[in-house]
């Protein structure tokens, strides 16, 4: 298993990830009073541009030359992460939401909203930013590169949601920052596990796919959020740390 070399430097990956988000932010302000259809189409176009930019910058959507050869500990954490994803899908009422989407007259619009969000956020955060911070850790020759890259990119991913303070409920936004940080770590673990960006986009899309046209965000119960996202954070970090240890061991063996 070898971490692939990207076309762009780690610094360029990070600042382009930030630039794409800033473009999204200013477009949101510019199109604030436009119709939801127009804004959704604009968001989807930006998402596709971001996906193509990510592919060009990374040369590929893969992280490694081949998938991780798992030891017993990593297999345990992989199963825990997959069970955690299933728990998250149930906690977010994904099956019920999907049924409602198909019964909703805004099916196409709801689908495009979720698709645009999933493609854009994962291209920028688990694509450019995660790979950028991973490249920085490789440049610094530090250990636990995957874990650190996941933490840094997830922190930015969470802070990006401050944009929702514009016209949104502040309590709900700060709760969103908390659970998107934990969710970002989970998505990073999924990208490492599958060695693909597609599966991360798919899971993100399924979580966001719901009857959201006309939906206004409200605050939730902090206890319920911690009850769901606390364990997800623990098992995701457990997987990433174990993957890092395995990567360190395999790198050391190659030197002999």
* pLDDT tens-digit readout, 225-245: 888 899 999 999 999 999 999
Indicate yes or no: pTM above 0.85: yes
Burial, 34: exposed, middle or buried (Cβ in 10 Å; 0-12, 13-18, 19+)? exposed
The domain segmentation of the chain, as residue ranges, is 10-254
Q: Which range among 16-25, 29-38, 145-154 shows the weakest confidence by mean pLDDT?
A: 29-38
Residue 123, pLDDT score: 98
Q: Is 6 helix (H, G, I), strand (E, B) or coil?
A: coil
Residue 250, pLDDT score: 75
Residue 69, pLDDT score: 85
Q: Where are the alpha helices (DSSP H) in the chain?
A: 10-30, 36-58, 72-91, 94-103, 107-121, 130-139, 145-160, 170-194, 198-208, 222-254
């Amino acid at each position: 298993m070898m971490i692939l070399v990207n076309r762009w430097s780690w610094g360029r990956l990070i600042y382009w990830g930030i630039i794409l988000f800033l473009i999204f932010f200013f477009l949101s302000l510019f199109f604030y009073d436009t119709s939801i259809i127009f804004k959704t189409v604009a968001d989807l176009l930006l998402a596709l541009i971001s996906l193509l930019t990510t592919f060009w910058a990374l040369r590929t959507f893969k992280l490694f030359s081949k998938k991780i050869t798992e030891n017993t500990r990593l297999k345990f954490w992989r199963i825990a992460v997959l069970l955690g994803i299933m728990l998250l899908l149930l906690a977010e009422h994904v099956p019920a939401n999907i049924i409602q989407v198909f019964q909703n007259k805004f099916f196409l619009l709801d689908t495009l909203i979720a698709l645009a969000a999933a493609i854009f956020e994962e291209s920028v955060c688990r694509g450019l930013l995660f790979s950028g911070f991973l490249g920085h850790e490789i440049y610094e020759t530090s250990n636990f590169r995957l874990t650190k890259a996941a933490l840094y990119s997830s922190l930015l991913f969470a802070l990006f949601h401050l944009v929702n303070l514009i016209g949104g409920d502040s309590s709900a936004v700060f709760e969103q920052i908390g659970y998107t940080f934990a969710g970002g770590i989970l998505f990073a673990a999924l990208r490492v596990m599958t060695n693909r960006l597609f599966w991360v986009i798919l899971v993100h899309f399924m979580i966001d796919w719901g009857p959201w046209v006309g939906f206004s965000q409200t605050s939730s119960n902090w206890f319920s959020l911690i009850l769901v996202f606390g364990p997800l954070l623990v098992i995701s970090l457990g997987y990433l740390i174990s993957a890092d240890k395995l990567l360190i061991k395999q790198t050391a063996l190659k030197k002999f």
